[in-house]
Amino acid sequence: MANQFQLFKHRRFSAMFFTQFLGAFNDNVFKQALILVLTYTAASQLGMEVSILNNLAAMLFILPYFLFSALAGQIADKYEKSKLTQLIKLLELVIMAIAAVGFVFEWYALLFVALFLMGTHSTFFGPIKYAYLPQAMKEDELVGANGLFQMGTSLAILLGMIIAGVLTQLSQSLYWISMTVLIVAVLGYLAARYIPIMPAMQPSLQINWNIFTTSLATVRYLYSLPFLFCVILGNSWFWFYGATFLTQMPELSKVILHGDESVVIFLLTLFSVGVSIGSLLCKSLTKNQVSLRLLPFGIAGLSIFAIDLYFSLSGLNINVSNDTFLSVSDLVGMSGSWRVFADLFFLGFSGGLYIVPLYASMQAYAPKSHRARIIGANNIFNAIFMVTSAIFAIVILNTLALSMPQLFLATGLLNIAFGAFLYIKLNRHIKSAVIQTHDEVVP
């Protein structure tokens, strides 16, 4: 297909795209609004540290990925995906109704419950949407579809955070937030109703409801497929990498660039737009083929621009008083700022070149009967790597008392070692993965 945007003409793609876009958007409107409420209102009311509340919120959202990802993969393999998606979207509507009550009455315990449930919703939806793509797309559409999904996810996250910031500035903001998340949940359910029926891949599967033995069995099965295991390590490294950089954006803006809130959004936009453009280019650069040929360029870019970000930030000289905050237009006119902006954009761009080939490979080479469970295992490892990212940043910034630019430098150098390891391992195991895919031998 000459242009991947032509996929939007097909209901088999557009319905799932908008379902997942609205889901990711709602996740981030809710999460960001809750963080802002906790930061500016709840902390003083509850007499607790802001950092404790925000870290608790982050933990509650990511915990379901550890607990339920393997179970979610089993369910997605056993049942037909369109009805399953509609059911999950109905649950999102219930969860957002709970969140709305929590916001309106300022019941923070209820908001934390809703946050955990929203993380659970995302956990169960993830294996469905990524196992759906290789089932619904033709072979020469898979890379383009993944590029659009990655673009959509990046933009949904960014827009969700921006809209949450806007809503919290309005009068009666808690009512506006509540109404928004409910409306988006309804739209997500309506989009899900247009998803065409996709037959279950293993309807005879006996589901193991013990989440601990299920998780262990899923990870063991993944480990028996060396190529897919390495692909998922690579996927999870992207989440480690992205979390390490994006978590620092507010402090980078405030402390180093002396920027106001608009600068935070601008930096996030640069990174997200970079990811989107890199993701979209993967289709034409790989000529529609599921291929790892772009991976070395993605790995190289992630290191080059992280290391250059260290030098560009270290050489930056912004002379303003501590209580003066600059706008984006102020920073644009300052010497050295464009290099910082370019580094963040190309970090995102390199990330797009890196992640799309890995996601397409995971979908293409996973055994059809176990595809959703493989994606469930991927989500488990993503969660582990994101938590590790937070620990890594704490060690660098607090324990070792290094600077934020030094954190970026360390991450870029670490990426060289990990990227080389990953690429060598993937090339070593890809032939066996191709053979297994053709034979479809599933234990």
Domain range for 156: 13-195
> What mean pLDDT is predicted for residues 293-312?
96
pLDDT digits (tens, 9 = 90+) for 313-346: 998 878 776 677 888 898 988 888 999 999 999 9
Query: The tokens 């809503």 sit on which residue?
Result: 167
In a domain, 2, yes or no: no
Number of structural domains found in the chain: 2
DSSP result, 295-351: HHHHHHHHHHHHHHHHHHHHT------TT--B-HHHHHTSTTHHHHHHHHHHHHHHH
Domain boundary among 147, 180, 195: 195
Please say if the pLDDT value at position 350 is more than 50. Answer: yes
Say yes or no: 258 and 315 in one domain: yes
- Both 248 and 136 in one domain: the answer is no
Helix count and strand count (H, E) for the chain: 16, 0
Q: Same structural domain for residues 188 and 227? A: no
Report yes or no on 175 lying in a domain: yes
pLDDT for the residue numbered 318: 80
Does residue 146 share a domain with residue 46? yes
In a domain, 443, yes or no: no
pLDDT of residue 8: 92
Read off the pLDDT of each residue in 106-115 and give the average, rounded to a whole number.
90
At residue 441, the pLDDT reads 41
Same domain, residue pair 352 and 281:
yes
Confidence class for position 42, pLDDT limits 50, 70, 90: low
The answer to whether position 1 is within a domain reads no
Sign of CA dihedral 299, 305, 309, 315: positive
CATH code of 351's domain = 1.20.1250.20
247/181 same-domain check: no
**Do 379 and 292 share a structural domain?**
yes
The pTM for the full model equals: 0.85
Query: Do 232 and 165 fall within a single domain?
Result: no
- Across the range 210-214, mean pLDDT stands at 92
Within this chain, do residues 367 and 285 fall inside the same structural domain, yes or no? yes
